[in-house]
Amino acid sequence: MKNASETVLVTGASSGIGLELARTFAEAGCRLVLVSRRKEVLQAIASDLGKKHGVEVAVFDCDLSRPNDSLSLFKQVKDSGWRVDVLVNNAGFGLMGEFTQLALDRQMEMVQVNVASLVHLTHLFLPAMLERRQGGVINVGSVAGFLPGPNMAVYYATKAFVLSFTEALAAETAGSGVRVSVLCPGPTESNFGQVARGGRPRKRERKKMGGQEVAQAGVMAYRKGRVIAVPGWSNQWLVQSTRFLPRWLVRAVVSRYNRF
């Protein structure tokens, strides 16, 4: 179904799930506002999507690890005349290692990108959607949000926040005409793992879903009004099984998984 009148803003759109979400919305005929630190990469993506799908695409470079950049982005988008109908908070990253061994400043940047900027952008863009009684927010969480995360403690905690925050917002906005959804993928083909491990390889690679499959599942769930989307049967089984397992066992399994 074409959505030519709909404008979708995607953060972290230069690679991975963010790029696939942008492609999925472009295929539906949506106009795009793409956000990332890598402007040259975004410009190439914008040109490709514009030519392939005949949609308007705007590009804004923004570093969401800086506290003031969320407001700056909002003002730039508004001053450029773009009305955002769907906000996709995809930007985020993880770090693997023991909490005390990882650099604190880098972990605080993770909290800023994964949590603070997500909250800030939502607070900036959501009121206009509620006033128009249409539009929505898609937050990209993770199955990590359902689990404790030894050896990735802060990352898992940020995704638990995203899950809880989204569910609460969905309840607050129920009946308003605005949809709020959280996409919670498991391991996905992207550069996320390389960044989290600092370029160090795993001894054994894990099976991953394709980014396109994850993005399409997330957009479909959002269109259907589902608050939580967990793509893939194995990920859904993981999320459900943790409800019945003792927490000490869950911690032990995740700790073992989050090793090089």
Please list the active-site residues: 155
CA atoms of 49 and 54, how far apart (whole Å):
7
For residue 194, how far is the Cα from the chain centroid? 17
Name the 3-class secondary structure at 107: helix
- The dihedral formed by the CA atoms of 173, 176, 178 and 184, expressed in degrees to the nearest 10: 30
The residues, ordered by sequence, that sit 6+ positions from 158 with a Cβ below 8 Å of its Cβ are 92, 110, 111, 114, 115
Of residues 19, 9, 61, 17, the one with CA closest to residue 39: 61
| Three-class SS state of 31 | strand
Angle at 195 between CA 201 and CA 33, to 5 degrees: 145
Task: Return d(Cα 18, Cα 212) in angstroms, integer.
Answer: 10
Strands 178-183 and 135-140, sheet pairing: parallel
Q: What share of the chain is helix, strand, coil (3-state, %, to 5)?
A: 50, 15, 35
